[in-house]
């Protein structure tokens, strides 16, 4: 089983970016924790980050041939991107959406996600654990 982990814009700045909202862990720390859990679950993961919507779409398109599912934090594109939503629909593989912060305790514009309706589920508000819970849920979903 192989899962694509996708991080959207500005997540490359984790650790220094608004640490009171997103924590002090860097993206490298998060990817290392995801890879450790993936090993324990017997799953392969590839982690990809981009600040560009088109690059995210192009990477997601690879899922059709090369991956079994997607774990995604679309970051700000959550609230704006029909293109990322369409890419997820196009590859016809299960997707789990995750967020470090709780979207629903924040500004109203963050309450709407274009990605949630095309995902198996959404996990929001648990920091690093959002990714780890999301990975577990996706693996269980793929196994069942």
Site residues, ligand DQA (CB under 6 A) = 10, 73, 75-76, 78, 99-101, 103, 110
| Cα three-residue angle 61-65-69, rounded to 5 degrees | 75
Beta carbon of residue 21, minimum distance to ligand DQA (angstroms, whole number): 7
Phi-psi region of 106 (alpha: psi -120 to 50; beta: other; left: phi over 0): beta
CA distance 27 to 47: 10
Q: Is 77 a catalytic residue?
A: no
CB closer to ligand DQA, 10 vs 26: 10
Q: How far is the CB of 144 from ligand DQA (least distance, A)?
A: 27
Nearest distance, CB of residue 9 and ligand DQA, angstroms: 7
Nearest-angstrom CA–CA distance, 51 and 32: 20
One of 7, 99, 114, 131 is an active-site residue; which one?
99
Please, which residues have CB within 8 angstroms of residue 19's CB and are 6 or more apart in sequence?
none
Tokens of 4: 């694509």
**Torsions phi, psi of 120, nearest 5?**
-65, -40
User: Does the annotation count 111 as an active-site position?
Assistant: no
Q: Which is nearer to ligand DQA, 76 or 120 (CB)?
A: 76
Q: Which is nearer to ligand DQA, 43 or 113 (CB)?
A: 113
Q: Which residues are catalytic?
A: 22, 99
């Amino acid at each position: 089983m192989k899962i694509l982990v996708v991080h959207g814009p500005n997540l490359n700045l984790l650790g220094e970016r608004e640490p009171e909202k997103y924590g002090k862990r860097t993206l490298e720390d998060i990817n290392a924790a995801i890879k450790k859990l993936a090993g324990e679950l017997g799953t392969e993961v590839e982690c990809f980050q981009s600040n560009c919507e088109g690059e995210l779409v192009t990477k997601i398109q690879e899922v059709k041939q090369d991956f079994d599912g997607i774990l995604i934090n679309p970051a700000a594109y959550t609230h704006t991107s029909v293109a990322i939503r369409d890419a997820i629909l196009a590859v016809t593989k299960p997707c789990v959406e995750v967020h470090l912060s709780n979207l629903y305790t924040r500004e109203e514009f963050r309450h709407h996600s274009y990605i949630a309706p095309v995902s198996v589920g959404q996990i929001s508000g648990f920091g690093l654990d959002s990714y780890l819970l999301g990975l577990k849920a996706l693996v269980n979903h793929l196994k069942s």
